Amino acid sequence: MILFFGTRPGKREIKALKNVTCPHCHQRDTLTAVSQPNYAHLFWIPVFTIKNISYAECSHCKRVFYKEEFSPEMERALSN
- In b/e form, how buried is each residue of 35-46, taking b as 16+ CB within 10 angstroms? bebebeeeeeee
3: Cβ contacts below 8 Å, ≥ 6 apart:
42, 43
Domain span holding position 38: 8-79
Element (H, E) at 71: none
**Residue among 53, 58, 66 at smallest CA distance from 31:** 58
pLDDT at 27: 94
**Inside any domain, residue 48:** yes
Number of domains present in the structure of the chain: 1
pLDDT confidence of residue 78: 87
pLDDT tens, 51-80? 999 999 999 999 999 999 999 999 999 887
pLDDT of residue 44: 82
Q: Is residue 2 part of a domain?
A: no
At 24-48, the pLDDT tens digits run 999 999 999 999 999 999 888 889 9
Residue 3 maps to a domain? no
